[in-house]
Chain A
Amino acid sequence: MTVLLIITILILTGIALWQITKIFELSQLGQKKDDSQIATEKDNDLNGKLMFAFLVFIYAVTIYSFWTYSKVLLPESASAHGPAYDTLLWISFAVILFAQTLTQAVLHIFAYQYRGINNRKAYFFTHDNKLEFVWTIIPAIIFFLLIIYGMITWGKIMNFEEDEDALVVELYAQQWNWKARYGGEDNVLGDANVRFLNDFDGKNPIGIDSSDPNGMDDFVVTQEFHLPVNRKVIFKLRSQDVLHSAYMPHFRAQMNCVPGMITEFSFTPTKTTDEMRMNSDVVDKVNRINKIRFENSKLLTAKGEESLEPYQFDYLLLCAKICGTSHYNMQMKIVVESEKDYEKWVAKQQIFSEVIQ
């Protein structure tokens, strides 16, 4: 049945094309039959006008996209370096949109304005070093400023100090889930290696070296990890099998997890999960998503399947580096909360020395 449908569609498409070709051909009636397949004055006129129309199309797509799609974008950042990131992003966007609007206009307007007319001679203009200089130097200056700004921000984000009071958290990636390890009371992570993974009958899921005393008070969590608000976190990232990438978009944070080495990233969360749930953009987004989920649920229940749970906002840790079958579903929840709530959560965790007993 589907095959028949596809064939019908193909045939109809074919007929439609044939007819459109006919229209193009008819638009050339009146002049003497020319089948040279070289553009005539009429072709130039039509395509030149279409070039102008295309400029309008590009603008329309741009405006439409910003109008309707900007609401799906990430909400305001939830980390200390986030605002600097967002400012740089929107400055770059302003530069891009300005350049895009201007150059596309000039390109398509020239294409429209100078569409060929028989017997008109083009203007012989081979080069102009002054012009070349101008349009080399202007982008150069703009790019230079953007680079300087970018490099300063980059330096601030990446060259973090190993403060004493920064919380150290290890994010541990494997096919296809995340685990997080905390240093415990001493806030120091014990040594670890994949070679210890099979110790203690699978009770050592991220391979802590039991001969390192620093590791005895470490604890490992799955599904979700908690962070205290306004305290700097230094992430140590490891992977046990293939490349993964720890992507925490709401914090404007990402770093690859590389087997055989420990990579690092640091940020300071500035908004608790509860605060972020009150953010107006987030509220709008959640409402929109729940509306979609409600509609989908109706379809599902009609088919006798389970309906979807309503969605509530949570910070996410995703995998952004292709890592195999379930790459698309490698997630962990991040909870940012007050120092007090965080301490309560920590107190509930079982430390390594207890786990292996």
Chain B
Amino acid sequence: MSEVSSIPHSNHDDHHHHKETFITKYIFSQDHKMIAKQYLILGVLFMGFIGVAMSLLFRLQLAWPEQSFAVFDIFLGDWAPEGVMDPNIYLALVTIHGTIMVFFVLTAGLSGTFSNLLIPLQIGARDMASGLLNMISFWLFFLSSMIMLASLFVEAGPAAAGWTIYPPLSALPQAQPGSGMGMTLWLISMAIFVASSLLGSLNYIVTVINLRTKGMSMFRLPLTIWAFFVTAIIGVISFPVLLSAALLLIMDRSFGTSFFLSDIFVQGEVLHYQGGSPVLFEHLFWFLGHPEVYIVLLPALGITSEIIATNSRKPIFGYRAMVASILAIAFLSTVVWGHHMFISGMNPFLGSVFTFTTLLIAIPSAVKAFNYITTLWKGNLQFNPGMLFSIGLVSTFITGGLTGIILGDSTLDINIHDTYFVVAHFHLVMGISALYGLFAGVYHWFPKLFGRMMNKNLGFIHFWITAIAAYGVFFPMHFIGMAGLPRRYYTNTAFPYFDDLANINVVITVFALLAGAAQLVFLYNFISSMFFGKKAEQNPWRSNTMEWTAPVEHIHGNWPGEIPHVHRWAYDYSKPGQKEDFVLQTTPLGKDEKETEH
């Protein structure tokens, strides 16, 4: 460990010479690099493990319905009498799996890790604009995670109304056991989560706008930063709407208001609610819910842009087009939410409008895919694990994204809405793609995070097994969806009509178990490399961006001495006339060198 106080900070204004204790360094740290690691370990590894494990449990039930499993007995206890999963706990598992993966892993885990790590390091800042807010953001996330996990131990079970928690199901404890204490905890946890996310996002935005080093103009920013920056803006715009939806739902549940409820008769009793509408909740939820897809996806795409360029030894193709498509996606993402509600009872004319905006968003997405592909063209591709996952992301982004053309079309949505076709689509386009981006980022910046390298061979194995398993899980799902099987069914044995889908469900589950096993390889690689990995060089991937000019050992303030200045964009790879195939952003232009036009 380098002695923090011994490093000179000549122009670091707010530097305080204080001794760091274990608590201030590892627990209540205000250093962005430590907070990034905290997010990675809690958000990605821990919550990710739980989220994935849950999916394997309900996949077992789907493949071998109503059979007794010892693992159910062990993990579900009374919710799996004699080892047979109860329908209510099936719904709870589906709900919490969705919530954890979407919010905790792919929103907080992904942005929390990489925005925190990379924003200051790639723009040349000593730290986030406010270290204190950053710390509070993480600890609110911690609190929110713990409340969500605590809800798993409530007697009647955790929330079970689907991750979209549509009322009245979520509002009425009489409607299902999970809508009692479990749902209360879900709502409290998410309210705190939103607060955490807002503090984080505001910090990212302010930092990118104000703390760029000299020479780092907006159009010299690496695409990672553009992606994190725009993601934070979408978050600030849309998350408060989820908060208001959650608060109104809490009011309906606990204080007898009727925002979302009207004319309800449940368990032999007419309830007093009058005049509210569940459709209103759907609007509020999806006003966050759809931008959320891009909150999950854009950081992954930003990470991919950086890793593909570095490992292709080529500039990212169409830098400005990439920035423009990020902005276009961000804008359009806030006006497409209605495509989740084509058959909600909303006016059909609105359906047409949302079809139009939805298919518009396919255009910038297509542009991004084409730009990635062109970046590979005539490159000199270095297949580090991060690169494999980045190419994997482009592949699943295409496969999953294309079926969006069907779901985004209000007409076609009629017959596949809420079927397994939807499950297949969004898992590929946002679940798997964003996870690939996350893995790519972990492999690529592990040297920056922990000063050590991850084992590449385990990385290769991790990627190839995951890639095959992901297709094996989600490709067949399109077909059972088009066969008319609705999602969130505890079993499809209640309909003899679906009996011939049983085999497909077994295939899917086998691949899911394989995919789960592959993640153990990653977990092992991660933990063992953290302690025993090979010591990293300063710039192992021979990359251009600024984080690789900072010392390997983490120091408070990132750079000893003055912060380097920036003289060029981030993608001068294999520039003609240069000795090396990369030029750091901090390298001044040569005597006769012209700045790359981009």
Contacts and interface: CB of A to CB of B under 8 A. Distances in A.
A328 to B, nearest CB: 4
Contacts of B46: none
Interface string B459-474: 0110010011001100
B264 A44 contact: no
Contact of B412 (A89, A115, A324): A89
B429 to A, nearest CB: 13
A25 B405 contact: no
B398 A103 contact: yes
Interface string A334-352: 0000000000000000000
Contacts of A51: 391
B247 interface: no
Interface in B344-379: 344-345, 348, 351-352, 355-356, 359-360, 362-363, 366-367, 369-374, 376-379
B343 A96 contact: no
B162 interface: yes
A261 B491 CA distance: 30
Given A57-B471, A197-B270, A293-B499, A159 B261 contact: no
B103 to A, nearest CB: 18
B411 interface: yes
Contacts of A307: none
A319 interface: yes
Contact of B494 (A151, A250, A328): A328
A150 B355 contact: yes
A189 interface: no
Contacts of B520: 13
A263 interface: yes
Contact of B418 (A88, A140, A263, A321): A321
Interface string A72-106: 11100000000001001100110110011001101
A242 B263 CA distance: 10
B88 interface: yes
Given A132-B318, A157-B411, A254 B343 contact: yes
Contacts of B480: 69, 72
A289 B369 contact: no
B146 interface: no
A88 B360 CA distance: 18
B415 A252 contact: yes
Interface string A224-257: 0000000000000000111101010110111110
A88 B318 contact: no
A318 B495 contact: yes
A330 B314 CA distance: 56
B175 A175 contact: yes
A161 to B, nearest CB: 13
Interface string B235-276: 000000000000000000000000001111110101000011
Interface in A60-76: 61-62, 65, 69-70, 72-74
A143 B345 CA distance: 26
B496 A289 contact: yes
Contacts of B589: none
A188 interface: no
A88 B277 CA distance: 33
B388 A47 contact: yes
Contacts of A280: none
Interface stretch (B104-112, B287-295, B574-582): B574-582
Given A110-B373, A116-B381, A126-B319, A324 B504 contact: no
A17 B395 contact: no
A61 B504 CA distance: 13
A132 B405 CA distance: 21
A253 B406 CA distance: 16
A74 B482 contact: yes
A11 interface: no
B399 A100 contact: yes
B521 A61 contact: no
Contacts of B345: 255-256, 258, 261, 263
A336 B320 CA distance: 58
B494 A147 contact: no
Interface in B488-527: 488-492, 494-497, 499-502, 504, 517, 520-521
Given A100-B399, A100-B402, A322 B91 contact: yes
B378 A151 contact: no
- Where chain A touches its partner, the secondary structure class is helix
A237 to B, nearest CB: 8
Interface stretch (A35-43, A215-223, A269-277): A35-43
Interface string A129-155: 001100110011001101100110111
A166 interface: no
B318 A324 contact: no
Contacts of B419: 320
A256 B490 contact: no
Contact of A38 (B384, B399, B461): B384
A253 B342 CA distance: 12
B499 A292 contact: yes
A140 B405 CA distance: 12
A25 B376 contact: no
A257 to B, nearest CB: 8
B483 interface: yes
Contacts of A122: 312-314, 378-380, 573-574, 581
Interface stretch (B22-30, B118-126, B165-173, B432-440): B165-173
B418 A247 contact: yes
A255 B351 CA distance: 13
B359 to A, nearest CB: 4
A104 B414 contact: no
B423 interface: no
A179 interface: no
Contacts of B501: 72
Contacts of B482: 73-74
A127 B317 contact: yes
Q: Which of A70, A135, A252 has the most CB of B within 10 A?
A: A135
Interface in B525-579: 533-534, 537, 540-541, 571, 573-576
Nearest to B479: A69
Q: Which of A103, A128, A309 has the most CB of B within 10 A?
A: A103
A49 B488 CA distance: 39
Nearest to A247: B486
A331 interface: yes
B176 A324 contact: yes
Contacts of B264: 194, 240-241, 259-260
A323 B410 CA distance: 23
A200 interface: no
A103 to B, nearest CB: 5
A332 to B, nearest CB: 12
Given A37-B454, A328-B490, A43 B383 contact: yes
A8 interface: no
A209 to B, nearest CB: 13
Given A157-B414, A245-B343, A39 B363 contact: no
13 contacts: A13-B520, A43-B456, A51-B391, A85-B414, A107-B398, A123-B574, A146-B359, A154-B411, A193-B263, A254-B415, A258-B279, A289-B500, A308-B496
| 4 closest cross-chain pairs (CB), A and B | A260-B262, A249-B484, A47-B383, A158-B348
Interface of A: 2-3, 6, 13, 17, 20-21, 24-25, 35-39, 43-44, 46-48, 50-51, 54, 57-58, 61-62, 65, 69-70, 72-74, 85, 88-89, 92-93, 95-96, 99-100, 103-104, 106-108, 110-111, 114-117, 120-128, 131-132, 135-136, 139-140, 143-144, 146-147, 150-151, 153-155, 157-159, 174-175, 193-195, 197-198, 207, 240-243, 245, 247, 249-250, 252-256, 258-261, 263, 285, 288-289, 292-293, 308-309, 311, 313, 316, 318-329, 331
